[in-house]
Amino acid sequence: MKVFICGGAGYIGSHLVHELSTLSQYEIIIIDNLSKGHVESIPAGITFENADICDKGALERVFTKHKPEAVMHFCASIAVGESVTDPLGYYENNVVGTIYLLQAMKKHNVKYFIFSSTAAIFGNPEETPIPDDSPTKPINPYGDTKLTVEKILAWTEDAHGIKYVCLRYFNACGAHESGKIGEDHDPETHLIPVILQVALGKREKIKIYGDKYDTKDGTCVRDYVHVTDLATAHIKALEYLVRENKSNKFNLGSGEGYTVKEVIEASRKITGHPIPEIIEEPRAGDPAILIAGSERAEKILGWKRKYNTIEDIVKTAWKYHQSHPNGYNNK
Ligand code: UFG
């Protein structure tokens, strides 16, 4: 089966590419404009098209050339704080780009779509762990762009028969166990890589954004899910689409949350570095607690996580960061 991996040179996309490339029944074509992705993450022998999903002509060219049967869509702007200051840029990239992609799928009769959604669609959830059918109420533009696409997908299925799976990631983290690929955003804003940059001596301190939340130590709680486990969920989702020809939405969490302070403490243990911390003002758009179960994904997709503790996760991230102290480009 020919599969387009849009955003396949990015953090989560590259881990999916590595897992999918071990399965002989899939032919992978990576579509990425390299605005955030890294060509260095692409394994030898994988087809790569440098194309932007916001460029209709480029999409027409790659769909005509490769004739994919399924599309996995990882391209998005993902920083919650930045989405608050640049909502228009976020809607353009995350919503308009996805519309163009779906239009190309419709034109070229591609039936299956897997969408990277997010826990941010739930806003401040009414229930924790967040059930798969929980009401959605994003509190930042980033979450709203992803929810908007989920709504567009429902209408697109009705009108054009494109079957889709939305995977609502909680906090993606960690790195491939080889240490060869990992998380490299510029600038880096995510908690674990930022903490590890302190351990590498690239930052002086980790800034903790707020310690007055209603949580056990006052810092935000998040559900950290290893990126390879997220990749496995995509493969299960594709198998499900082909097998059942039905659309669905799944939370991908671990059922457990860690506070910012607990993640810092785990990182001190793994790295042996004191990792000094400083309390800062809370960051705009941050909910206090985001935790999800994954009952539906486990039951319907047969998804099973391999990495179950924050220490196991940080260990893999540390292996990548130690071998790439300046990221892929050695900046
Ligand atoms: N944090 C700090 N200091 C930092 C960086 C982060 O205290 O230097 C805190 C944040 O305030 C937050 C937690 O660490 O409480 C995690 O922050 P991240 O930036 O790592 O991740 P977010 O929870 O903001 O967002 C991530 C993804 C989103 C996704 C969300 C779902 O980036 O795409 O998880 O839970 F929607």
- 161-200: pLDDT as tens digits: 999 999 999 999 999 999 999 999 988 999 999 999 999 9
Residue 252 pLDDT > 60: yes
Q: Which residues are identified as catalytic?
A: 142
DSSP at 210: -
pLDDT at 80: 87
- Taking CA atoms only, the protein residue closest to ligand 1 atom 18 is 190
CB of residue 170 inside a 6 A radius of ligand 1: yes
pLDDT value of residue 148: 98
Q: Is the pLDDT of residue 330 over 70?
A: no
Name the helix (H) or strand (E) containing 18: helix 11-20
Residue type, 235: I
Average pLDDT over residues 34-59: 97
208 touches 219 (CB < 8 A): yes
**11-22 pLDDT tens trace:** 999 999 999 999
Of ligand 1's atoms, which has the minimum distance to the CA of residue 173?
20
**Model confidence band, residue 76 (pLDDT cutoffs 50, 70, 90):** very high
* Atom number in ligand 1 closest to CA 118: 36
Find the DSSP H helices in 86-226: 87-91, 97-107, 141-160, 191-199
| Predicted pLDDT at 186 | 86
Mean pLDDT, rounded, for 258-281 = 98
Distance, CA 305 to ligand 1 centroid (Å)?
Answer: 21
- Mean pLDDT throughout 194-217? 97
The CA-CA-CA angle for residues 228, 199, 12, to 5°, reads: 20
Q: What residue owns the CA closest to ligand 1's atom 34?
A: 171
Of 192-196, 256-260, 290-294, give the lowest mean pLDDT range: 290-294
Tokens, residue 272 = 């042996």
Question: Is ipTM > 0.95 here?
Answer: yes
Reply yes or no on whether the pLDDT at 67 is more than 60: yes
- Count of residues making up the chain: 331
Nearest CA to ligand 1 atom 6: 191
In a mutational test of the pocket of ligand 1, which residue from 11, 261, 283, 313 has the highest number of ligand atoms less than 8 Å from its CB? 283
Cα 161 to Cα 159: distance, rounded to the nearest angstrom: 6
pLDDT computed for residue 46 by the predictor: 98
What is the chain's alpha carbon radius of gyration, rounded to the nearest angstrom? 19
Please give the angle made by the CA atoms of 68, 70 and 75, to the nearest 5 degrees.
100
Task: Using alpha carbons only, give the angle 13, 6, 61 rounded to the nearest 5 degrees.
Answer: 155
Reported as type and span, the H/E element at residue 82 is helix 80-85
What are 109-154's pLDDT values in tens digits? 999 999 999 999 999 898 999 999 999 999 999 999 999 999 999 9
The verdict on the CB of residue 80 being under 6 Å from ligand 1 is yes
Q: Is the pLDDT of residue 331 over 60?
A: no
Do the beta carbons of residue 290 and residue 130 sit within 8 Å? Answer: yes
As a whole number of angstroms, the distance between CA 67 and CA 108 comes to 7
DSSP H helices in 124-280: 141-160, 191-199, 227-244, 260-271
Arithmetic mean of pLDDT, 103-108: 98
Does residue 61's CB lie within 6 angstroms of at least one atom of ligand 1? no
Does residue 290's CB lie within 6 angstroms of at least one atom of ligand 1?
yes
**What residue ranges define each of the domains in the chain, with the CATH number in brackets?**
2-173+224-252 (3.40.50.720), 191-222+255-323 (3.90.25.10)
Atom index in ligand 1 nearest the CA of residue 263 equals 14
* 190 CA to centre of ligand 1 in angstroms: 6
